[in-house]
Amino acid sequence: MLNSCVKKKQKKNGATTRTATQKIATLALDGTEDPKEGNKVEEDGIDNMGEVYGKVDTFVTKVEEKVTPPEDDCTKYGNCAPDPVDPTPEDPKPVNPNPWDDVTPPTKPDGSLDVGNGCTTSTMDALDSIGLTNYFLWRQENETLYQRLGEVRDNPELEGLWFRGIAGKNKWDKGKRHFENKYYGIQIGLDRVHQTFTNEYKCREVDGEDAPCRRVPATDWIYGFGLTYMKGQSKLANGGSGDNWIGTLSFYGTRKFQNGGYLDLIVKGSRLNNEFTAISDQFRYLSKGKYHTYAFQASVEYGNKHYLNKDKTWYVDPEVQLTYGHIKGVKYRTFNALNVDVHNLNSLIGRAGIGVGKEGKKGSAFVKVDALREFKGEYKARYHLDHGAWNKSRISMKDAWGEITVGGTYNFRKDTYGFVQAKRSFASDLKQEYRVDAGIRYVF
């Protein structure tokens, strides 16, 4: 389950003697080492997984012969079990000077763990994939102002209650880790405007001849909060599956400037839950479990809308955004006695984009292209069994990618406005195959 290269060895005449039994499947699902004869799990088939769940071994081969250490022997990679210290009269109960926690396999130049041929495990890969689904679903909370409020920044009178539906699909297929995660969710929010005014008035032709002129605001802030619930369903390698959800409370403030610029500030706190079934290659091991953790985000976004014609209908809107986030580490134990320690994860994502759109009396439409980069993200986890055997993984989430978005708004009635957008990523390790946001705003 953790490392097929972990063996106990005895040196004798330059060769290695494997004492007792060699367990091809290495360790049991329930953590014990009582050898039992039996069929391979993959021969029984996935339909009979419930019958073999919790068994110690998939099959056992007994050998009593001297063999030459293979190229993937654990002595080459430094992850063998420490040799015990023999007792002496001075020290009848010696302490192992090389505990498992101090045995560190080497790393490759790219930072990944160099555990050698045959030492990586599909169980670890599946559990890593489960952790990544949480990270990527949480990253979907890294939203832009338009996703959350539509065009409210251009018309402060649109303050009020808003509702948004979300649906999307993420896909990750890199190395030995794979998942597809479809998610959907809802978000509701309430915001209010705080304004002070000058003695000047401004009229817009686009509002119509009979539309009244409006006083020019001196300061213009929108304050509000939102509640989000998103649920995802994952497909993992070998038929594994996962269900995850995230609940978020957010607070935001948006400042509009007279030159067409805006500043958007937002903070969020989230709870992430995951329940999963991970299946190893050849269906040897079935690992079930569930856990939850917490996360927060803080984001600042600035943009400046520039009109391209006198009627102020066509515009170009450059934007920049910086988001910092933190996912708290978590420890959990699978039903087959595998202990997992996921480290804290820090994230810093920058975004620069430009949008082009057109506004009219009944609504607006736009297209936008963004470039994003994750500067800090790194997923790290340590896996160990009760008897001490361990392994660990480290996955760099640093990446650069692009997104293309199309959307618009529509004025249904004087007090009811709708907004929608759809986007897709490109040139990224994580493929955001689609995400659709659609919402309604009701003005009090």
What are the pLDDT tens digits along the chain (444 aa)? 665 444 333 333 333 333 332 332 333 333 343 333 333 333 333 333 333 333 323 322 232 333 333 333 344 434 444 455 677 887 777 655 444 444 444 445 554 444 433 355 888 899 999 999 989 989 888 776 666 665 555 565 667 888 999 999 999 888 778 899 999 999 999 988 887 777 777 776 555 666 677 777 666 788 999 999 999 999 999 899 999 999 999 999 988 887 878 898 999 999 999 999 999 887 878 899 999 999 999 999 999 989 999 888 999 999 999 999 999 999 999 988 889 999 999 999 999 999 999 988 888 999 999 999 999 989 999 988 887 778 888 888 899 999 999 999 898 888 888 889 999 999 888 889 999 999 998 887
Round to whole Å and give the CA distance between 272 and 245. 6
Q: Are strands 214-236 and 177-202 parallel, antiparallel or unpaired?
A: antiparallel
CA distance 416 to 441: 6
CA torsion angle 293 277 52 45 (round to 10): -170
d(CA 313, CA 320): 23
How far apart (Å, rounded) are the C-alpha atoms in residues 407 and 423? 9
Ranges assigned E (strand) in 376-429: 378-384, 390-396, 399-413, 416-426
Amino acid at 305: K
Span between the terminal Cα atoms of the chain, in Å: 59
Q: Which residues contact 318 (CB under 8 A, 6 or more apart)?
A: 303, 304, 352, 353, 354, 355
Among 212, 129, 211, which Cα is nearest to 173's? Answer: 129
pTM for the full model? Answer: 0.71
In terms of Cβ atoms closer than 10 Å to its own Cβ (0-12, 13-18, 19+), residue 244 is: buried
